[in-house]
Each structure stands twice: as structure tokens, then as C-alpha cells.
Amino acid sequence: MDVPTARYIFQHYDCGGFRAYNGELLMKQRKSGTFQLPFLLFAVIALAVVAIACGSGGDGEVSESDGPIAKIDDTDRIYTADDIKNATNFKLDDDYDVEGLDDAIAAIYGFYGTDPYARVEYEVRFYADHATAMSTGVDFADEATGANAVILKDIQRWDEGLKDRRQCAGNGGHHSGKCDNPKYFDYVVVGNMIMMCQGKDSITSHQACADLMSVVQ
């Protein structure tokens, strides 16, 4: 009897059922009397594993995350600037003018941390809803974050608060340092809010985002 292997079953199962050839094989085995209980049990177990794998790829926007916070959370909650301003140990530094930041309704800059001498910096942008944050806001956030971001006025489309978004890097000299590096390496989207968080890489940025979100009421 030609018993299909687990690899065969995975290759011929498309999350909607077996393809025709596989069905024909099973029917031939049934008719020939070679369809045995061990194979049936094997097939059921393999199908269960495949079904779980298919079911894990949902249509929602909540991204997979092995870190402290999901990159994208499509919650229906509508956040306001006051939700961040009123968070315990958050210190507001500036309310930005959002002219030029397409579709944004507010943007703030501030610091958070339980130790007043070791606070982390944040920029939080607010949109009418999650869809707008994703369709318009993410593009602007990508421009200002990540290893390849260049925080210069002639490159950034929105230059309000530009000095707050950049930091220097170099050999430590005041004049030799390269001061067009992004302060916020990464961001998260939570509902209608895009939170850019200070960090040297995505892991530290996401941890900073998670820390602030943990005190948002």
C-alpha cells in the first residue's frame, strides 16, 4: 500500500481540503481493501496538526510578537492625548502642531519612567481611528524610525519637533558627531494611536512602548 507521508499530506492540503488527487488515492485504497486503521489514525492526526496551522493565520491585524508588545493592535478603543498625559510618571514636554502630519489630530512629546533621572522619550501621534493610523500614519512613522531613517529637515516630510526625534552618534566629539540618527528606533500602533519609543533597536523600543502602555488607563 502506498501510504502518504506527513509531508505529502501537508503538501496536498490547502486549508480548504485535500486536492483531488489525494481524494482519489484514498478512494482507491478503500476500494482495494488496503485502507487500514493505522493509516486512518495517522491521517487524522496529521489533519489535526494542519488544521491548527491553518487556523492560526487569522485575518485580524494584531501582529505576531515574541517581544513585550505587539507591533500592531487593532483595538477599537479611541485614545486621546489625555490618556498619555495622565499616565502615571509621564511628563509632557510638548504638544506639537500637526499641520503637515497628514490626517493626524494630535501629537505629543514627553518622557516616562519611574526613575526621574532615567526617563525614556516618546512621541505619540493620534488619528481618528485605527484604519487612518494604518493607512496614513504608519508611512510617516516609518520615515522617522529604524536604522535607515535620516532625521533631516530636507528629508522628513513633517519637521515639527524634528530636533526631538534625532540624536547624535559618532566618536563622542561635539562637532564630529553625526546628529541625524533616529531617537526612536521603532513604534507600535495601538488602535488609533502610533507610539514611537526611544531605543537602540526594536527590542528596546518595544520594551519602552510596553512600559508606557502598562500605565495607560
The pLDDT tens digits for 43-65 are 444 444 334 333 333 334 445 55
Q: Inform me whether the pLDDT recorded for 190 exceeds 80.
A: yes
**In whole angstroms, what is the distance from residue 70 CA to residue 192 CA?**
14
Q: With a threshold of 0.85, does the pTM exceed it?
A: no
Phi, psi of 157 (to 5 degrees): -70, -35
26 vs 183: CA distance, rounded Å: 60
DSSP state of 110: E
Q: Which of 28, 208, 4, 22 is nearest to 121 (CA)?
A: 208
Distance CA 169, CA 179 (A): 6
pLDDT score recorded for residue 11: 43
Sign of CA dihedral 36, 41, 44, 47: negative
The predicted-structure confidence for 167-188, as pLDDT tens digits, reads as follows: 887 544 444 457 788 999 999 9
Q: Would you list the domain boundaries of the chain?
A: 6-55, 72-213
Confidence of residue 160 (pLDDT cuts 50, 70, 90): very high
